[in-house]
Chains A and B, each alone.
Chain A
Amino acid sequence: ELSRRYFASRLSLTAPIGWANSVSTQPRHFVEHVVVRRTGPSAMASFLVARRLLCPASARRLLPCTSPPPSAPAALCWLSTDASPSPPLPVPPLEPTVDPPKKDGASFSAGSGAGGAYRTGQGAASGGRRSGGAGYEEEQQKVLRASLLHVPRMGWSESAMIAGARDVAMSPAIVGAFPRKEAALVEFFMDDCLQQLMDRIDAGEGELLKNLMLTERLSRLVRMRLEMQTPYISKWPQALSIQSQPANVSTSLKQRAVLVDEIWHAAGDAGSDIDWYVKRTVLGGIYSASEVYMLTDNSPEFHDTWTFVNRRIKDALDLQKSYKEVAYLTETLGAGIGGSIQGVLNKVFQK
């Protein structure tokens, strides 16, 4: 329990530690709610930073920030000639239909780190990557996708990427050109999962969600996303540790922020006020906590994890209502005493 909480606080989008404590079946006390609320702003501050880095929340698709996506025929050729052998291990559920032309490619390059940034000027410490961006990015994606098949055996390591490069008839030397090698593989996987999630929502599963309650919708979406990690669950702790390394943490936070945003959007989030930050933070915390819980879950088909997710989301949303209840209560109390808080303050400072 302790390690889970520690992980959640380190990896999540600043979900308050106190919140985890308050999630219980005991009657909730007034004080606890105030405590949670007070940690909100500090939690939000760092999340605000992450949010500013994102594309506008209204744009559901990850916009190409750098290189333009290649033409559709090129993407199709890439799919059909993929030389990956049929693996003896379970493959994550990929879309059998044609993937939309490389929308995650550009986002991946955006998250690739400083090495990919183009900087001009002779005083620059390093020079940017030049043209043929589409060609190189494509090849990089091919290699990384092929490498994923080796991850369950070799972990998120260079060995997996070298084996992946050999699978697609590339010299393994290309792995040396990837920025932050293992992190590149993990980040590719995160982007790929997000893309799959969005595709599945668009493909029709989004419609099924409409009939459910908000809590159930969120649970279903979080479960969909976490299920994509089940083939790699034995090596997922390694991926988490790679993501939390200082050089990689900013990208992984960005990816998680986008993921949480996407889940809320698919669940039909309509709010645009201060609630937005709180919702993202809370769901981010639930997601990370569930992710870590899954690592030690031995129940058949991760049944316990889904129960955990359901409970956490239900509790969180009930807490949400409590904020409003508290605010309402405070106001009525103030009105009862005789005047709003502002009125009281005015009286105090008038003398």
Chain B
Amino acid sequence: SGFKQVREDEKSKLVGNVFSSVASSYDVMNDLMSAGLHRLWKDRLVSGAQSITPYGDSLFLPDSSDFFSRLISKLNPFPGMKHLDVAGGTGDVAFRVVERIKSVSHRATQGTLTDMEEDTHIYVCDINPNMLEVGKKRAAEKGYNEEQCLSWVQGDAEALSFEDGSMDGYTIAFGIRNVTHIEKALSEAYRVLKKGGRFLCLELSHVDVPVFKDIYDIYSFSVIPAVGELVAGDRQSYQYLVESIRRFPKQEKFAQMIQEAGFEAVEYENLVGGVVAIHSGVKL
């Protein structure tokens, strides 16, 4: 159906270009691509209750206003944690982890562990310096510049500069589909995690629900590139992004790949019927 065939060596360059060009309007477009659709369903949210649709009990969740919140609550950060967020240049995940660990209410429940708080450190790794700049700017806006626990590192997901067994958690949100060799990224994730460490991946994934699937296809292939042209003036990049989502392995296949990398207790959770999926695994 007209997917552009991209050669391996060209892929990383193309991805680099895409992200350099979309970096500034990244937030807006991300909203439109993933959370926009989510907002269509938000009206049907009953506070705290489970959804009545048949598309799974993870569709609406008490404490998630968006997918990042769900990712963070699955991650369950603790004081003293060493966390690595890959391809998270803009800091979406990192800021939420910091907030979660530092929040007053959280500290109250964890009472006895505040002495470990100083050891907390979150590393944000991204291959694209522009994205990192956006992240640093957002950190400044939120007042995180005095935070000793945030580090911004440039690096490649396929060849991380961190030591073996140095991280408690590893997250990659909306980033793994842009990696050329997914298996390499997964094995790098396995390498840097400690024993008992968790791997979490938030990614746009496949919808198999019959009617919803067609709606989603129309939305993706017709609406998004058009909006991309209007908002960011770049139809091609968004066309590429939509195609890359379709090319990404399905939930079960990706879960299998994670398991092959060595992780145990691999599972995934579909959000919004499969538009977004969170895969998780534990290193033992």
Contacts and interface: CB of A to CB of B under 8 A. Distances in A.
B57 A172 contact: no
Interface stretch (A79-87, A118-126, A220-228): A118-126
B236 interface: no
Contact of B194 (A125, A139, A143, A171): A171
B260 to A, nearest CB: 10
B282 interface: yes
A74 B263 CA distance: 20
Contacts, number: 114
Contact of A173 (B113, B169, B251, B266): B169
A157 B59 CA distance: 27
Contacts of B266: 127, 129-130
Task: Report whether over half of chain A's contact residues are helix, strand or loop; otherwise say mixed.
Answer: helix
Interface stretch (B11-19, B70-78, B151-159, B176-184): B70-78
Contact of B267 (A126, A159, A162, A169): A126
Interface in B66-84: 74-76, 78, 80-81
A143 B282 CA distance: 14
A131 B262 CA distance: 11
| Most chain B CB atoms below 10 A, which of A125, A153, A158, A181 | A125
Interface string B197-214: 110000000101100000
Interface residues of B, number: 43
A115 B259 contact: no
B110 A159 contact: yes
Contact of A162 (B78, B208, B265): B78
Interface string A106-135: 000000001100000011111111111001
Interface residues of A, number: 35
Interface in B50-76: 55-59, 74-76
Contact of B198 (A123, A129, A139, A177): A177
B264 A132 contact: yes
Contacts of B59: 125
Contact of A122 (B113, B251, B256): B251
Contact of A130 (B197, B208, B251, B255): B255
| Most chain A CB atoms below 10 A, which of B208, B267, B280 | B267
A263 B75 CA distance: 40
A125 B58 contact: yes
B269 A125 contact: yes
Interface in B238-261: 250-252, 255-256, 259
Task: Report whether over half of chain B's contact residues are helix, strand or loop; otherwise say mixed.
Answer: mixed
B112 A159 contact: yes
A126 B256 CA distance: 14
B78 A125 contact: no
A249 interface: no
A169 B195 contact: yes
B36 interface: no
B78 A158 contact: yes
Nearest to A181: B76
B2 interface: no
B103 interface: no
A126 B57 CA distance: 9
Given A158-B78, A170-B195, A176-B75, A136 B113 contact: no
B267 A173 contact: no
A174 interface: yes
Contacts of A125: 55-59, 269-270
A127 B55 CA distance: 13
Contact of A126 (B109, B110, B270): B270
Nearest to B194: A171
B194 A154 contact: no
B162 interface: no
A115 B196 CA distance: 18
B133 to A, nearest CB: 29
Given A123-B209, A127-B266, A129-B265, 16 more contacts: A115-B267, A122-B208, A122-B251, A126-B267, A127-B252, A129-B266, A132-B265, A136-B284, A157-B109, A159-B113, A173-B168, A173-B169, A173-B197, A174-B198, A174-B282, A177-B282
Interface of A: 114-115, 122-132, 135-136, 139, 143, 153-154, 157-159, 162-163, 165, 169-177, 181
28 contacts: A114-B57, A122-B206, A122-B251, A125-B57, A125-B59, A126-B56, A126-B269, A128-B267, A129-B266, A130-B267, A131-B259, A132-B284, A135-B284, A143-B196, A154-B112, A158-B76, A158-B109, A159-B113, A169-B195, A171-B193, A171-B195, A171-B198, A172-B81, A173-B78, A173-B81, A173-B196, A174-B198, A177-B198
Interface of B: 55-59, 74-76, 78, 80-81, 109-113, 168-169, 193-198, 206, 208-209, 250-252, 255-256, 259, 264-270, 280, 282, 284
